[in-house]
Amino acid sequence: MTREIRASADLEEGAAHLMQVCPVWKRELPALMPLPLRRWSEGFAAIRDAVVAQQISTHAANAIAARMTEAGLADEVGIAAADEDALRAVGLSRPKARYLRGIVAAGVDWAALRDLPDDEVIARLTALPGIGRWTADIYLKFALGRADAFAAGDLALAEAARLLYALPERPGPAILTELAEPWRPWRAVAARALWAYYRVAKGREGVR
C-alpha cells in the first residue's frame, strides 16, 4: 500500500520517525514544527503550472497563468484547440508552448497515476516533453501526496542538508539520496523540514 500525506497527523507521524532515526533531526526538527501540508490538486493543472514556472520568477509565472486563464488556455481542451501563436501571445516561450501542446497530445490519464507506484509515476511523467526528474518528483510529492517522494536534485534541499549536517560542500543528488536513505518511508516529510530549515538558516544569514 502506498503511504500518502493527507493531513497534519501524517506529517507528525513522519516527523516522529525522523527524530527516532536521526539525532540531528531530533535536535532541530521540534523548532521547525508544524510543517506545512502543501497539497496541490492532481492532474494537468499542476504540471501546466510547473512548466510555466520553469526558469522564471514566481511573479512572472503567476502573470502568465492569469493570462492563460483569461484566454481560455488553462486546460487541456483550450490548449489542444490553440496554435503556438496563441500560446506565445500569453507570454509562453516557444519551447514551453510546444511542451504544453505535447503533454496534452500525450493524452495522460491523470487519475490512473494515483494507483501507480512511485517509480512508475516518475517514468510516465519524465516521458512527457519538458518534464524532468525534479518536476516529476515535485508532482509526486505535492499532487499525489506520496510520503517518500524526494527531489534529490533540488538545490535548496541540498543546501539545507549541507547546513544541517555541517557538510564541507553542497551534496549532489547521489550523496543526498544516500544521506536521505534512513528517512524512508517519510522522505517527503524530511523535504518539507529541509525547506523550513533552509528558510530559517538563510534568515539568520540575512538572506531573503
Taking Cα atoms as reference points, which of 134, 125, 142, 139 lies closest to residue 176? Answer: 134
Residue 73 to residue 127: CA distance in whole angstroms = 23
Say what the pLDDT of residue 2 is: 83
pLDDT confidence bin for 7, thresholds 50/70/90: very high
Least Cα distance to 108 among 167, 170, 46 occurs for 46
Choose one of 114, 143, 172: the last residue of a domain.
143
Same domain, 75 and 19: no
In tens, the pLDDT along 25-73 reads 999 999 999 999 999 899 999 999 999 988 888 899 999 999 999 999 9
The whole-chain average pLDDT of the chain stands at 94
Q: Is 129 found in the same domain as 71? A: yes
- Residue 126: exposure state from Cβ atoms within 10 A (0-12, 13-18, ≥19): middle
Q: Is residue 1 assigned to a domain?
A: no
User: 176 is in which domain, residue-wise?
Assistant: 8-39+148-204
Q: Is residue 53 assigned to a domain?
A: yes
Closest CA to 2 of 193, 187, 185, 191: 185
Q: What is the CATH number of the domain that holds 171?
A: 1.10.1670.40
With a cut of 90, say whether residue 132 has pLDDT above it: yes
Percent over 70 (pLDDT), the chain:
97
The pLDDT of 139-168, averaged and rounded, is 95
pLDDT surpassing 70 at residue 207: no
Distance in angstroms (rounded) separating the CA atoms of residues 134 and 51: 11
pTM for this model (two decimals): 0.88
Residues 81 and 133 in one domain: yes
Report residue 150 as a C-alpha cell: 524526494
135 and 170 share one domain: no
Classify burial at 133, counting beta carbons within 10 Å of its beta carbon; exposed 0-12, middle 13-18, buried 19 or more. middle
Q: Are residues 71 and 115 in the same domain?
A: yes
* Residue type, position 203, single letter: G
